[in-house]
Chain A
Amino acid sequence: MRKFWIFVAALLFAASAWANDVGQIKVAKGAVQLERDGKRVAAAVGMPVRASDVLVTGADGSAGITFSDNSLVSVGPGSVFAIDKYRFDSTTHAGEFEGSLRKGKLVAVSGKMVKQSPESMKIRTPSSVMAVRGTEFVVQVDEPATTAAKR
């Protein structure tokens, strides 16, 4: 009987945890960290992500996230990607997804949200805003110092 209640408690916990989760890390190679509430933890496959999390990859790192609306985002080495806002209603498919690539490389595939209402997904870089109307795109942000040094 006790086991049963532990099981119920675990289920409730899982359900409540899921409520805030907006996606899951599906791929993590090399050094990948997730920054939440000012703390950085090593990111692992299967780890849930939430709005306001920041994904950070090292020089050998890359990672991929599947979001609740089936949109996909992956980053290459030396990248910083912040999930600024994420909201998705699985019944109406209405929602809002705002992310920013501060540096590095990103590949994104839009999901059900954008199919339902174009431009509901926005990706920012230090100088641009991308309003997504569909499917796949790539974004790269270089550091200014590196470019200046190369000149």
Chain B
Amino acid sequence: MRVATALLLLAVAACADAPRAPPPINPELIAVIPSADGHVGAVMVRSGGGEQLLDRAYLARRLMADGSIDATPISPAEVTLAFAAALEALPGRPASFTLYFLEGKDELTSVSRVEMEKVFAELKRRPAPDIVVIGHTDTVGNLSFNDRLSLARAERMRELMIELGIPAGRIQAAGRGKRELLVPTEDNTAEPRNRRVEISVR
């Protein structure tokens, strides 16, 4: 530390006769990259009294050490190289999945049983998942029956996730009965697409 201070004093002394140096600039780079789904958004950058809208993939704005601005686009290879560690540390993208059930039961359809394997593998892959499971029903039966059925569906999924080794504290389960239909129907209508759980994870 003392050495650093001494060096700093020397540096200041050396500069004393030279014209006053401008305050040091942190060189910067800002660039927009395509998102995982291919969509490209926009970032408005304001600096040094100017502004620049970065609204296409790989548009970039650099603040150079001498204070000048360089608006040359960046190459995908440079992004990959310069931001490798940060890109790798990006958390898993929040996702949601829907699984379907047999009429009046908390048992999955055969198609959804297969699908469940994929969904659960994805949940298991995440290091600290926050999972919300919401159960739903179709409109066959009264409100309280469907409230119980929807909760049973969600709880059933939650139990399976716990069996898989996901900590119970990271999974919330709730039932919404026939209150949030995916496909609007009359009351007392059997509709397979409404007999479902929605699983969201982040």
Q: Which of B86-94, B97-105, B139-147, B176-184 lies at the binding interface? A: B86-94
A91 at the interface (CB under 8 A from B): no
Across chains A and B, the number of contacting residue pairs, with CB separation under 8 Å, is 160
Chain A: interface secondary structure?
strand
* Per-residue contact bits, chain B 44-65, to A (CB 8 Å; 1 contact, 0 not): 1111100000110000010101
B91 (CB) vs chain A CBs: closest residue: A26
Residues of chain B lying within 8 A (CB to CB) of residue A51: none
List the A side residues contacting B28 at CB < 8 Å.
125-128, 139-142
Is B72 at the interface (CB under 8 A from chain A)?
A: no
CB distance from B54 to the nearest CB of A (A): 7
Give 1 or 0 for each of A10-39: 1 = CB within 8 Å of chain B CB. Answer: 000000000000001111010000000000
How distant is the Cα of A105 from the Cα of B88 in the complex, in angstroms?
Answer: 12
Among B26, B36, B42, contact of A127 (Cβ-Cβ < 8 Å): B26
Number of interface residues of A (CB under 8 A): 51
Task: Please give, as numbers and ranges, the residues of chain B lying within 8 Å of A133 by CB-CB distance.
Answer: 41-44, 55
A127→B28 CA distance, assembly (Å): 8
The 26 sampled A-B contact pairs (Cβ below 8 Å) are: A66-B130, A70-B202, A72-B90, A72-B93, A74-B91, A75-B86, A107-B90, A109-B35, A126-B28, A127-B25, A128-B63, A129-B47, A131-B43, A131-B46, A132-B41, A133-B44, A135-B32, A135-B40, A137-B33, A137-B41, A137-B43, A138-B29, A139-B28, A140-B83, A144-B27, A151-B65
Other than the known A125-B47, A126-B28, what 14 A-B pairs have Cβ atoms closer than 8 Å? A26-B128, A65-B91, A66-B94, A72-B93, A109-B35, A110-B41, A130-B44, A135-B32, A136-B36, A138-B33, A138-B86, A143-B26, A144-B24, A144-B25
Give the 9 A-B residue pairs with the shortest CB-CB distance, closest first.
Answer: A134-B41, A144-B24, A135-B41, A128-B47, A26-B91, A76-B86, A62-B89, A76-B85, A74-B89
